[in-house]
């Protein structure tokens, strides 16, 4: 990847459940978002205290039928996003 610009970056991750499906995600470099008091601009439960990228899961798994929410929860549980 390596676009060299700030902004949303798109990434496809393997499904954490079946390892076959492809999950579309996007993430935002933390260097930008954490600098400011960005609480208002963060979607939902994003935590500003973590110096981590902001990840959003865009799709569920077509292979095993898990929903976007389930996939995202599993990614977070495993510390992938
Ligand atoms: Zn799956």
SS3 at position 22 = strand
Where are the chain's structural domains? 9-77
Expressed in angstroms and rounded, the spacing between residue 23 Cα and the centre of ligand 1 is 8
Query: Does residue 59 contact residue 3 with C-beta atoms inside 8 Å?
Result: no
Q: Which long-range contacts (CB under 8 A, 24 or more apart) does 69-72 make?
A: 70/17, 71/15, 71/16, 71/17, 71/23
pTM here is: 0.67
pLDDT at 48 over 50: no
Residues with CB under 5 A from ligand 1 (ion): 15, 17-18, 21, 61, 63-64
Q: Flag whether pLDDT at 42 surpasses 90.
A: no
Determine the Cα–Cα distance for residues 60 and 32; give it in Å rounded to an integer: 27
pLDDT tens profile 58-81: 999 999 999 999 999 999 999 999
Question: pLDDT band at residue 6, thresholds of 50, 70 and 90?
Answer: confident
pLDDT band at 31 (very low <50, low <70, confident <90, very high): low
Cα(39) to centroid of ligand 1, in Å? 31
Whole-angstrom distance, CA of residue 67 vs CA of residue 1 = 26
């Amino acid at each position: 990847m390596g676009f060299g610009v700030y902004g949303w970056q798109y990434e496809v991750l393997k499904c954490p459940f079946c390892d076959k499906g492809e999950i579309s995600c996007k993430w935002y470099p933390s260097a930008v978002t954490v600098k400011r008091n960005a609480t208002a601009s963060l979607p939902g439960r994003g935590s500003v205290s973590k110096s981590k990228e902001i990840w959003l899961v865009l799709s569920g798994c077509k292979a095993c039928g898990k929903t976007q929410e389930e996939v995202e929860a599993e990614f977070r549980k495993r510390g992938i996003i």
